[in-house]
């Protein structure tokens, strides 16, 4: 498939980027099997930011064409000098390596076949290097570095094609999406898929001698395993955790399948009394997931668990903290998956409006600043995203809810028991029935909490708009409303539940000598 563009041959459900990523998915385990300790050291020792033959970037083709074997123009000592000098500034991620190789060996429009043909040749040489590895390991080191350089060449040629179509390409993003710290074919961290065929045999190449001070091979397998697990975790975090890859992870097999079943059952047991209907749904989903389990290596569409993960995420944030800690300490994928739930971002939409014609002007900027300060000072404030919708019209609100998923929607402005006041396009006051707002909110199930920080907003209200609705039974002063917001978002930023955050908001009011008996929380 890496020759797709050259042969103009396509394969259903598998494109060039899939093949490009799979080439690295094959390359890295091969190096691990031969106990290569550091891929970046292996590659950079031969390509230290320059071509190893002419020691230039971009390389000079005329000089490189004259190099044969170990002729005088192959100055190994000079390559080592480049390595020692440039090592601290080596690339730090896959996109960086791609850029480095493009500087050494620039690709251009019309370079079709250059990298794919070169890669095929190097694969033959690599196979020969593997055959004599026990006796001459330096051959493998050089050929493995060459393979990587041609994979980067293919990536750079693809970047040019994408740019011609007005698209961008990130090798790092695409690779991690397909190899997120566990095998997507068998669902396990340690792959249990069938063995792959042996590579073809090629010829040897003259490569650098391994220096005594180099530590290119694994000597401590336990440490190597630990470092690999840490790297897998970082890879997973970089793409939003398991939740960010819900449409790619193999939840229909292996450890991923078992972990999701276990989480559904544990959470169902914890919420049985408070939310029996949700608990029943989770048990039914656990049965569905378990019954859909497939053996490793079987090709099948990903199991659709997006809505289930969304439901788990909503429930998870309201579980008892001790329970969350217990399940987070579970080993393996179970702990990682709920850890991703715990670390997921809470999105808040702050809807404010003080249009002309209301008689009394409000200082809504003060409440906005107070919320920002509370989140900035809180231990988990970095996990809270606050988005502002000032001088809001109903169209602004409706479109924002269509564009993004929010956990909390906070209304601040003029109101009474029947309406919230919005603006029109000319900033004139428009009274909007709270019942209409409720219908809008209910179409967006990600919204767990609605705050109606205005006068009499829940007076006479019997049913919650979302899982939690917070409002006032009578008029509230601006200083009192401000104190409630401070306390509420202090608690949200500390990772507390909505009920805990409500209680903290009430405490902030009473500690500032404001009555709070008219502040209510309704639950669904």
Low-confidence winner among 64-78, 249-263, 349-363 (lowest mean pLDDT): 64-78
The residue ranking higher by pLDDT, 61 or 287, is 287
Kindly indicate the confidence band of residue 197, based on its pLDDT and cuts at 50, 70 and 90: very low
Task: Count CA atoms closer than 13 A to 111's CA, side-chain side.
Answer: 20
Token output for 105:
């060996």
The pTM of the whole model exceeds 0.85: no
Rg (CA), the chain: 30
The model's pLDDT over 262-302, given as tens digits with 9 standing for 90+, comes to: 888 888 888 888 888 888 989 998 898 888 888 877 777 77
Residue 164, CA distances (Å) to 86, 98, 242, 281, 481 in order = 33, 18, 33, 48, 54
**DSSP letter string, 437-461:** HHHHHHT-TT--EEEEESTTTTTT-
The CA-CA-CA angle for residues 338, 341, 345, to 5°, reads 160
- Kindly give, in sequence order, each residue whose CB lies less than 8 Å from that of residue 77, ignoring residues fewer than 6 positions away: none
Please determine, for residue 201, whether its predicted confidence score (pLDDT) is greater than 50: no
pLDDT at 226: 77
The whole-number pLDDT of residue 3 equals 66
User: The tokens 């997973």 sit on which residue?
Assistant: 236
For residue range 488-518, list pLDDT tens digits in order.
999 988 888 888 999 999 999 999 999 999 9
Q: pLDDT-derived band of residue 203, with 50, 70 and 90 as boundaries?
A: very low
What is residue 502's predicted lDDT score, i.e. its pLDDT?
94
The neighbouring-strand residues paired with 432 are 420
Distances (CA, A) of 126 to 137, 156, 172, 191: 11, 22, 24, 23
List pLDDT tens digits, range 456-490: 889 888 889 998 999 999 888 889 999 999 999 99
Confidence at 49, pLDDT banded by 50, 70, 90: very high
Spatial contact of 76 and 208, defined as CB atoms under 8 Å apart? yes
CA distance 130 to 178: 27
What is the β-pairing status of strands 468-472 and 519-523?
antiparallel
pLDDT at 242 over 80: no
Counting Cα atoms < 13 Å in the Cβ hemisphere of 420 gives 27
Confidence of residue 524 (pLDDT cuts 50, 70, 90): confident
Burial classification of residue 89, based on how many CB atoms lie within 10 Å of its CB (0-12 exposed, 13-18 middle, 19 or more buried) = exposed
Residue 198 has pLDDT above 60, yes or no: no
Three-state SS across 26-46?
HHHHHHHHCCECCHHHHHHHH
Distant-in-sequence, close-in-space partners of 407: CB < 8 Å, separation ≥ 6 = 317, 346, 347, 348, 446, 447, 448, 449
What would the mean pLDDT of 248-256 be, rounded to a whole number?
75
State both tokens at 384. 């809270």
- Per-residue pLDDT at 238: 62
Residues 151-194: tens digit of each pLDDT? 999 999 999 989 999 999 999 999 988 888 887 777 787 777 76
Count Cα atoms within 13 angstroms, Cβ side, for 130: 19
Percent of the chain with pLDDT over 90: 39
The 10 Å Cβ neighbour count of residue 60 is 13
Collapse the DSSP code of 260 into the 3-class scheme (helix H, G, I; strand E, B; otherwise coil) and give the result. helix
Give the CA count within 13 Å in the CB-facing half-sphere of 484. Answer: 26
Split at pLDDT 50, 70, 90, the class of 196 is very low
Q: Across all residues in the chain, what is the average pLDDT?
A: 84
Query: How many C-beta neighbours within 10 Å does residue 148 have?
Result: 24
For 179-229, the three-class secondary structure string (H helix, E strand, C coil) is CCCCCCCCCCCCCCCCCCCCCCCCCCCCCCCCCCCCCCECCCHHHHHHHHH
pLDDT at 6: 59
Cβ atoms 407, 449 nearer than 8 A: yes
Predicted confidence band of residue 4 (pLDDT cuts 50, 70, 90): low
* DSSP per-residue letters across 72-138: TT--HHHHHHHHHHHGGG---SHHHHHHHHHHHS---TT-TTHHHHHHHHHHHHHHHHHHTTTT-HH
A 10 A CB-CB count for 393 gives 18
Return the closest-CA partner of residue 448 out of 367, 396, 524.
Answer: 524
For the chain, the distance separating the N- and C-terminal CA atoms, rounded to the nearest angstrom, is: 53
Determine which helix (DSSP H) or strand (DSSP E) holds 160, and give its type and residue range.
helix 137-164
Distance of CA 482 to the CA centre of its chain: 35
Inter-CA distances, 519 with 88, 473, 484, 507, Å: 58, 6, 9, 11
Copy the structure tokens of residue 381: 């404030």
Res. 239 pLDDT band, cuts 50 70 90: low
> Which pLDDT belongs to residue 505?
95
Determine what percent of the chain is predicted with pLDDT higher than 70: 88
- Calculate the CA dihedral of residues 18, 24, 25, 31 and round it to 10 degrees: 170
On whether the CB atoms of residues 257 and 300 are closer than 8 A, the answer is no
Cα–Cα distance between 440 and 126 in angstroms, integer?
61
125-139 pLDDT, tens digit each:
999 999 999 999 999
Dihedral angle of Cα 324, 329, 333, 334, to the nearest 10 degrees: -40
Provide the β-strand partners of residue 347.
385
């Amino acid at each position: 498939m890496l020759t797709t563009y050259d042969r103009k041959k396509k394969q259903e459900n598998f494109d060039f980027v899939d093949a490009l990523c799979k080439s690295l998915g094959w390359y890295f385990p091969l190096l691990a099997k031969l106990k290569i300790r550091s891929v970046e050291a292996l590659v950079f020792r031969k390509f230290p930011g320059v071509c190893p033959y002419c020691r230039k970037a971009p390389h000079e083709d005329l000089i490189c064409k004259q190099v044969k074997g170990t002729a005088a123009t192959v100055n190994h000592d000079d390559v080592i000098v480049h390595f020692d000098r440039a090592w601290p500034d080596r690339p730090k991620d896959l996109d960086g390596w791609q850029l480095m190789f493009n500087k050494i060996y620039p690709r251009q429009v019309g370079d079709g076949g250059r990298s794919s043909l070169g890669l095929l040749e190097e694969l033959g040489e690599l196979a020969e290097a593997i055959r004599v590895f026990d006796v001459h390991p330096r051959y493998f080191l050089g050929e493995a570095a060459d393979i990587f350089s041609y994979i980067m060449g293919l990536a750079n040629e693809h970047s040019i094609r994408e740019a011609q179509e007005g698209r961008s390409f990130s090798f790092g993003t695409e690779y991690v999406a397909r190899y997120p710290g566990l095998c997507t074919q068998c669902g396990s961290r340690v792959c249990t898929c069938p063995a792959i065929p042996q590579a073809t045999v090629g010829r040897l190449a003259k490569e650098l001698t391994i220096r005594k001070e180099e530590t290119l091979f694994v000597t401590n397998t336990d440490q190597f395993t630990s470092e690999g697990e840490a790297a897998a975790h970082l890879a997973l975090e970089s793409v939003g955790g398991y939740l960010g890859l819900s449409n790619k992870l193999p939840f229909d097999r292996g450890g991923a399948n078992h972990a999701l079943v276990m989480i559904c059952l544990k959470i169902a047991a914890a919420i049985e009394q408070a939310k029996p209907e949700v608990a029943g749904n989770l048990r039914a989903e656990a049965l569905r997931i378990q019954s859909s389990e497939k053996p490793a290596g079987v090709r099948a569409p990903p199991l659709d668990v997006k809505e289930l993960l969304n439901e788990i995420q909503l429930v998870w944030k309201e579980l008892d903290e001790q329970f969350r800690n217990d399940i987070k300490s579970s080993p393996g994928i179970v702990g990682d998956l709920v850890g991703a739930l715990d670390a997921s971002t809470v999105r808040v939409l702050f809807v404010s409006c003080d249009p002309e014609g209301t008689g009394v002007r409000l200082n809504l900027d003060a409440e906005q600043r107070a919320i920002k300060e509370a989140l900035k000072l809180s231990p988990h404030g970095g996990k809270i995203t606050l988005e502002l919708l000032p001088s809001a019209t109903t169209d602004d609100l409706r479109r924002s809810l269509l564009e993004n998923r929010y956990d909390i929607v906070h209304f601040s402005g003029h109101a009474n028991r029947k309406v919230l006041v919005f603006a029109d396009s000319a900033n004139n006051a428009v009274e909007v029935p709270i019942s209409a707002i409720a219908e809008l909110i209910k179409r967006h199930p990600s919204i767990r909490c609605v705050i109606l920080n205005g006068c009499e907003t829940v007076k006479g209200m019997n049913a919650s708009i979302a899982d939690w609705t917070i409002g006032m039974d009578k008029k509230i002063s601006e200083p009192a409303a401000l104190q409630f917001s401070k306390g509420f978002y202090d608690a949200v930023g500390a990772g507390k539940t909505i009920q805990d955050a409500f209680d903290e908001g009430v405490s902030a009011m009473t500690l500032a000598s404001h009555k709070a008996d008219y502040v209510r929380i309704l639950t669904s």
